[in-house]
């Protein structure tokens, strides 16, 4: 990457109003970078302006707004160079698969999949000019079949594969692509929606398991967003060209379990972790199957 002594480095960070995006924007700015911090709520980014962060109100799901942002960059980027595009913004979706509406599915995919693909495509020339780095905030949910997260897991699996294919495609341009597979991090992304009334999971033991799933990150000693950002910035500044990096609580160990152990074992671990056995027993009895799995 170009030397800071000759040109100020530039980054675009989405989801910059809180959590990971806020900390990455802050820490890059402290290193002397010019950072375009993008979010819908720019008032939360304004405290970082004195460090060199430019707050950009941007709905990443809007093609029109992304194109206008591209025009802004064309007028402001030195030599048309963008050193880092950090596709960090994310949308949670923690609901039983039977209860997710079309609108909720579309919103989750719009933020987690379509928007990063769109931004990567629209800002390609700036990244080529700088031989820059593109990052994606992936998730363990893209590897592990977490219960009550089928849609979110699907979006993260999709963006993982997009990032990996992109890593291969862009080698000839000198662009690095880093897929940050993220474990527990102390952010406010957790879904707060309840199980809908009338759901086939609307009974006591299922509701308890559902609440435990929503609080999974906060109950498992999550890494602070500040420490997470520091590690990822180390990845940005490194000359290494990894495909995947693992950051956040349990990111390495759980990824290893999912990748190297058989599916039945992964399901067993998740069944015990989220106390799904009583749910299965209740549903089997209610829906006509008298088999008792004894998975307490």
Q: Domain for residue 1, yes or no?
A: no
Q: Which two tokens stand for residue 279?
A: 């749910």
User: Could you tell me the residue range of the domain that residue 143 belongs to?
Assistant: 10-198+222-268
Q: Domain for residue 42, yes or no?
A: yes
Q: Domain for residue 2, yes or no?
A: no
Residues catalogued as catalytic? 17, 152, 156
Q: Domain for residue 274, yes or no?
A: no
pTM for the whole thing? 0.90
List all residues 6 or more positions away from 113 whose beta carbon is below 8 Å from its beta carbon: 155, 158, 159, 162
What is the pLDDT averaged over residues 177-205?
87
What are 31-48's pLDDT values in tens digits? Answer: 999 999 999 999 999 999
Q: How many CB atoms lie within 10 A of CB 215?
A: 11
Domain total in the chain = 1
Specify the CATH number for the domain of residue 137. 3.40.50.720
Q: How many CB atoms lie within 10 A of CB 278?
A: 17
Q: Domain for residue 288, yes or no?
A: no
Q: Domain for residue 211, yes or no?
A: no
229 has a pLDDT exceeding 50: yes
217 has a pLDDT exceeding 70: no
Q: Domain for residue 135, yes or no?
A: yes
Beta strands at 223-224 and 84-87: parallel, antiparallel or unpaired: unpaired
Per-residue confidence band for 296, with pLDDT thresholds at 50, 70 and 90: very low
Does residue 80 come out as left (phi exceeding 0), alpha (psi in the -120 to 50 range) or beta? Answer: left
């Amino acid at each position: 990457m170009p030397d800071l002594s000759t040109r100020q480095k530039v980054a675009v960070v989405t989801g910059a109003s809180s959590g990971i995006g806020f900390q990455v924007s802050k820490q890059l700015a402290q290193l002397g970078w010019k950072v375009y911090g993008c979010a819908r709520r720019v008032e939360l980014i304004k405290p970082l302006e004195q460090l060199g962060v430019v707050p950009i109100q941007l709905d990443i799901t809007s093609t029109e707004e992304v194109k206008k942002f591209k025009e802004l960059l064309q007028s402001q980027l030195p030599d048309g160079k963008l050193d880092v595009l950090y596709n960090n913004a994310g949308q949670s979706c923690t609901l039983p698969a039977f209860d997710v509406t079309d609108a909720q599915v579309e919103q989750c995919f719009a933020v987690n999949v379509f928007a990063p693909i769109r931004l990567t495509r629209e800002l390609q020339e700036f990244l080529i000019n700088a031989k820059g780095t593109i990052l994606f905030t992936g998730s363990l949910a893209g590897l592990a079949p977490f219960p009550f997260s089928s849609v979110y897991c699907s979006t993260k699996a999709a963006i993982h594969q997009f990032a990996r294919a992109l890593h291969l495609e862009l080698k000839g341009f000198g662009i690095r692509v880093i897929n940050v597979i993220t474990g527990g991090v102390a952010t406010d992304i957790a879904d707060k929606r309840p199980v809908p009334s009338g759901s086939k999971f609307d009974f006591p033991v299922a509701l308890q398991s559902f609440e435990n799933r929503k609080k999974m990150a906060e109950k498992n000693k999550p890494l602070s967003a500040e420490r997470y950002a520091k590690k990822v910035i180390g990845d940005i500044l490194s000359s290494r060209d990894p495909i995947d990096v693992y950051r956040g609580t349990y990111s390495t160990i759980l990824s290893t379990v999912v990748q190297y152990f058989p599916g039945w074992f992964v399901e067993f671990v998740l069944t015990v972790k989220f106390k799904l056995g009583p749910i299965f027993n209740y549903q089997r009895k209610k829906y006509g199957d008298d088999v008792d799995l004894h998975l307490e």
